Amino acid sequence: MTRLSLVLRTQAAIAAGKVVRAASRLRGGGSALPGLVAEKVDPQLLAATIGRLPDGVVVVSGTNGKTTTTKMLVAIVREHGKAVFTNPTGSNFTRGVISAMLAEIGPNGRLTADLAILELDEAHALRFAKVVPPTHSLLLNVARDQLDRFAEIDHTARLLTSLAEQTSTGVVLNRDDSFVSRIQTHVQPGATVRWFGVDPSIADRLPELQEADVRFSDEQELPAAGPSDGLLKPLDDREFLVTFADGEDVGPVTLQQRGLAAMINATAATSMARMLLGEAFRPALATAALARVTPPFGRGEVIDVEGQPLELVLVKNPAGFTVALGTYGSTPVATMIAINDNYADGQDVSWLYDVSFESLRERGVALTSGVRAYDMALRLRYDDVVTDAVVPDLEQALDTFLADHWAEPKRIFCTYTAMMRLRRVLAARYDLPDFGEEATA
C-alpha cells in the first residue's frame, strides 16, 4: 500500500469514527463504538497517530490502582509543561483509547500532544502493544482479580511480563510485589529499569494491600533501591513523602484521597514521572500537582448529599476490597454494598469469600443491592455482620439508603457497573461533574 493510500485510510477511519461519535452523543451517552468503527476501517490507526508522538507512549497496568495512578502521572507531567494525551475515562480497550482520541484529533490524523499516558488492563495492553509498542511501562501489582476474566495470579504476571518485553525505553516496577519485581529479568536490553515501593519503616503495613501469595516471602530478597527509585514514607493518612536516595525528595504531599494505597499510587506515578522527565523533573511541581488531584469517580470520591458526605468506593477483587475496608471502613458510617456480576464486574463473585468483613460488625450494613444483593447479604451473615435490608434495584436502594440515613455520613462499596449506575443517578440529582465517555466494555 502506498504512502498516500495509508494516509487516506487513516483519514477515512477518523472521519467514520467522528461521525459515529457525534451520533452517539446525540443519543445521550458515551460509547466505545466510535473507536471500534474507526479501528475496523484502519487497524493501524493507533500506530499512525499515538505511535508517532515525539516523547513516546506510556502504559500503566496492573491489577489495582491503574486509574488513580494514571491520573496522578498525567497531572505531574502536565505540571511540567508537557502536552499529554490520555484515556481519562479509564477505558481499558484499544477501541476505548481510539474513542477518547477522536475527540482531540484533527482531520489530518495528527494528535497534538508530546506523549500519551494510557491506562490499560493487562490483557488489552498486549493487544495495544502489538500495534504500538510502548516506550515506557509502569507495572503496579498482581493480585487475583475477576476469576472469569484474567484467571489466576500466574497468568496475570505473564501478561505483564509480555508487556515489559515489548517496552523499548524504560520500565518502572513495584519492588514490594514479587510477581512484578521478577519481571526485571525480561526487560529488553538497553531499557532502563527503576523501582517504586515503601520505606522499610512501614513494610509491616503491606499486608493491608496485598494478598499473602503476592508479598515477598522471608526467603526472597527485596531489590535494592537505587538513587532514582522512589520510596513512600507516610506522615499520616493523607500526608507523605516520596524519598529518593539522591536527595531529590517530593513532598510533604497532602492528597485529597485517604489511605496507604493512594500514597503508593502517588509514589509509582512520581517515580515514572521522574524517569520520563529526566533532568527537567522538579519536586516542587510534582508536589503541587499531586495535591490538586481529585479522586477518580468511585475511588473514594466524596459527594455532598444534603449537607452530609457520601463516599463511593469501587471494589473489584479481594485485595481491593480489603484495602477499601481498611482505608474507609474504620470510621463508623451508614454503609451500603452494591454488587453486580456483569462482564465488567467479573461474573464470578466467589472472591467475596476471600474478604473479611469483620470491621463492619459493630455498625452493620444498612442494605445490600445490585444483581448479587442476596449473595452479598449471605456473605456478610457468615462474618456475623447484620444486614438491615436487601434491595436489588440500585436506584430504589439508593433512595432508601439516602432517606433512612439523611442526617449522617454515608458510604457505598460497589462493583464497577453498580458504581457507574449509582454515579449517574447522583450526578443527575446533585449536579455533579460528568465523568465523560466511560468504557462500555
pLDDT tens per residue across span 97-121: 877 777 778 766 678 899 999 998 8
Catalytic positions: 348
pTM: 0.76
250-276 average pLDDT score: 90
Please tell me whether residue 414 adopts helix, strand or coil conformation.
strand
The predicted pLDDT at position 81 comes to 96
DSSP secondary structure letter of residue 215: B
Q: Are 399 and 426 in contact (CB under 8 A)?
A: no
The predicted pLDDT at position 313 comes to 87
The predicted pLDDT at position 439 comes to 37
The predicted pLDDT at position 171 comes to 97
The predicted pLDDT at position 50 comes to 86
Q: Which position has the higher pLDDT, 142 or 300?
A: 142
The predicted pLDDT at position 13 comes to 63
Q: Where are the domains of the chain?
A: 47-292, 299-430
The predicted pLDDT at position 248 comes to 86
268: left (phi over 0), alpha (psi -120 to 50) or beta: alpha
The predicted pLDDT at position 102 comes to 78
Please tell me whether residue 80 adopts helix, strand or coil conformation.
coil
The predicted pLDDT at position 29 comes to 54
Q: pLDDT tens for residues 338-359? A: 999 887 777 788 889 989 998 8
Between helix 66-79 and helix 260-277 the angle, nearest 10°, is 40
Residue 320 pLDDT greater than 60, yes or no: yes
Neighbours of 96 (CB within 10 A): 28
The predicted pLDDT at position 38 comes to 65
Neighbours of 356 (CB within 10 A): 13
Q: pLDDT tens for residues 322-332? A: 877 877 656 67
**End-to-end Cα, the chain, rounded Å:** 32
Q: pLDDT tens for residues 268-301? A: 999 999 999 999 999 999 999 999 998 776 566 7
Share of the chain above pLDDT 90, in %: 41
Amino acid identity for residue 110 in this structure: R
Q: pLDDT tens for residues 210-249? A: 443 344 444 567 777 888 899 999 887 778 999 998 888 9
To 5 degrees, how large is the angle CA 73–CA 163–CA 167? Answer: 70
Within 8 A by CB and 6+ apart from 377, the residues are: 365, 368, 387, 390
Instruction: Pick the closest to residue 435 from 294, 315, 244, 290 (CA basis).
Output: 294
The predicted pLDDT at position 389 comes to 95
Q: Copy the grid coordinates of residue 396.
A: 430504589
Q: pLDDT tens for residues 167-182? A: 999 999 999 888 899 9
- Say how far apart CA 428 and CA 434 lie, in whole Å: 9
Q: Residue 438 — pLDDT band, cuts 50, 70, 90?
A: very low
360-388 average pLDDT score: 94
Average pLDDT, the chain: 82
CATH architecture for segment(s) 47-292: 3-Layer(aba) Sandwich (3.40)
To which residue does cell 490520555 refer?
A: 86
Q: Which of 78-87, 138-147, 302-311 has the lowest mean pLDDT?
A: 138-147
- Say how far apart CA 17 and CA 31 lie, in whole Å: 11
Residue 403 pLDDT greater than 80, yes or no: yes
The predicted pLDDT at position 19 comes to 65
294-309 average pLDDT score: 77
Instruction: Pick the closest to residue 210 from 128, 138, 144, 281 (CA basis).
Output: 144
The predicted pLDDT at position 37 comes to 66
The predicted pLDDT at position 25 comes to 60
> Is domain 299-430 in CATH 3.90.190.20, yes or no?
yes
Please tell me whether residue 221 adopts helix, strand or coil conformation.
coil
